[in-house]
Amino acid sequence: MGDERDLEIDDLISNLDKDYYSAHSATNGSYLTIQKTRDFNSLVQLWTHERTCPDILPYAHELLDTIVDRVRGQIEVIEEYTTSGDSSGGNAKLKVLFVETELERVKFLVRGYLRARIHKIDNYYMHILNNPDVQHKLSQSELRYTKRRANQLKRYYDHRFLASLPQLLQRLDDTAGGLHMIDAPDLDEVVFIRVLRDSPGEVDLGNDDKIELRKGNIYVLPYKVIRRYVDDGDVQLM
């Protein structure tokens, strides 16, 4: 029963998309629906990766731009159906309701993805600003936010107590004497992974321990030893 209901909902949303795009462009409705499904699944995986990964991952510019453009298009769909005479029918109202529900689902994932990144930026802003390679992982908006946060915190600390200390002790990124004041992601943190493709070789776990990643298997391993496999798409975080 549940499967039949889900199929009906998907059909209604798909038909609404086809109605809109057939009226506004030559885009094939079936192709659009397949692409939307792929993009949504990619967004789910992106959200999962960012929430479970101890390190900040590269910002998904292309996917996020596509998702945002599609959200704008769906908002136009809702506005057209609600302002036209076609919206008076119960079936049209139901279609709009389902599209609104889909929009909320997408917006929940986008917000969750961005909040996970902001949380990491808040914790590791000094580490980010000291590493150009990490800065390249951020969007321009995120980088501006990072710099603004660093400046605001520096002014606050200066006002509260740093200005009263000797100049030698006023730095927030001091590493002298073996004391590292910059918080950085813990790459030794263990993560759950699912293997998508067999690894070309054995993964070195350290202390002469090695493991071979088998497709379909689930492992719990330190992030630093499988980091490159995540970047290459051989494994996915869970």
DSSP 143: H
Give the pLDDT score at 43.
Answer: 95
Give the per-residue pLDDT at 114.
Answer: 95
* Residue 200, in any domain of the structure: yes
Provide the whole-model pTM: 0.78
Q: Residue 5 to residues 2, 94, 154, 157: CA-CA distances in angstroms?
A: 5, 13, 55, 57
Q: Which domain holds residue 221?
A: 186-238
117 plus 190 within the same structural domain: no
| pLDDT at position 159 | 64
State how many domains the chain has: 2
Same domain, 99 and 21: yes
Radius of gyration of the chain (CA): 24
Claim to verify: residue 72 and residue 128 sit in the same structural domain: yes
User: Quick one: CA dihedral 97, 103, 106, 110, positive or negative?
Assistant: negative
How big is the chain, counted in residues? 238
Query: Tell me, what CATH number does 226's domain have?
Result: 3.40.5.60
Q: Is residue 155 part of a domain?
A: no
CB neighbours of residue 125 within 10 Å: 19
C-alpha to C-alpha distance for 100 and 108, rounded to whole angstroms: 12
Q: What is the CATH number of the domain that holds 56?
A: 1.20.58.1030
Q: What is the pLDDT of residue 153?
A: 79
Maximum alpha-carbon separation in the chain: 74
Domain stops at, among 119, 140, 161: 140
Q: Is residue 22 part of a domain?
A: yes
What pLDDT sits at residue 174? Answer: 63
Instruction: Supply the pLDDT for residue 175.
Output: 63
With H, G, I as helix, E, B as strand and everything else as coil, classify residue 172.
coil
What is the mean pLDDT of each successive set of 10 residues along the chain, which is 238 residues long?
44 49 50 81 95 96 92 80 62 75 90 95 92 95 93 75 65 62 89 88 82 92 93 91
* Whether residue 98 sits in one domain with residue 191: no
Residue 147 located in a structural domain: no
